[in-house]
Amino acid sequence: MVVYVTRRETFNAAHRMYREEWSAEKNEDVFGKCANPNWHGHNYTLLVTVKGEVSDATGYLIDLKQLKVIIQDHIIEKLDHKNLNLDVDFMTGKMATTERLCMAIFTQLKTPIERNIGVFLHSVRLHETENNSAECFGE
Ligand code: NI
């Protein structure tokens, strides 16, 4: 039987939504307050879900400390207190939306989790606010 286990992490980061090739007016039209030239921040909540079969010996799917360390090393250290448009190598050239960030986090985590812990990465859910989130299953 397959079980799903989720680790929650939080970080805060700044961003701005804009396209260089668009005028200030068009950026403001499309992105509203998120186009503010002087940036703004969010307190993000990240939910990382892995799946697999429970160990007979421990009753665990994984040692959650291992998952915590992988998320810390590959994601939180790169994003927390950073500017998503300027500071994050894996977001270079991408729009700093919740959707793009969620997909990029999935890609960043997939190999380390599957290689080092030996379970499948099922999903990454990223909340930009309490009410708004994106989820990615790697499809
Ligand atoms: Ni925003």
Average pLDDT over residues 115-138: 97
Average model confidence (pLDDT) across the chain: 96
Distance CA 119, CA 1 (A): 14
Band of the pLDDT at 135, cuts 50, 70, 90?
Answer: very high
- pLDDT for the residue numbered 116: 95
Scanning the chain, the segments in alpha helix (DSSP H) are 24-31, 64-71, 77-79, 98-116
pLDDT bucket at 71, cuts 50 / 70 / 90: very high
Domain 2-136: assigned CATH number = 3.30.479.10
Mean pLDDT value of segment 45-54: 98
Q: How far apart are CA 25 and CA 35, in angstroms?
A: 10
Phi, psi of 10 (to 5 degrees): -130, 155
Residue 122 identity (one-letter amino acid): H
Q: What is the pLDDT of residue 110?
A: 98
Q: Which strands sit side by side in the sheet containing 120-127, from one edge to the other?
A: 82-83, 3-15, 40-52, 120-127, 133-136
For tokens 């190999």, what's the residue? Answer: 111
Cα of 20 vs centre of ligand 1, distance in Å, is: 17
Tens digit of each residue's pLDDT (9 = 90 or more) over 93-112: 999 999 999 999 999 999 99
pLDDT in the model for residue 55: 93
Q: How far apart are CA 123 and CA 125, in angstroms?
A: 6
Quote the ligand 1 centre to 23 CA distance (angstroms). Answer: 19
Summarize pLDDT for 23-48 with one digit per residue, the tens.
999 999 999 989 999 999 999 999 99
Distance (angstroms) between ligand 1 centre and the Cα of 112 equals: 28
Active site residues: 34, 81, 128
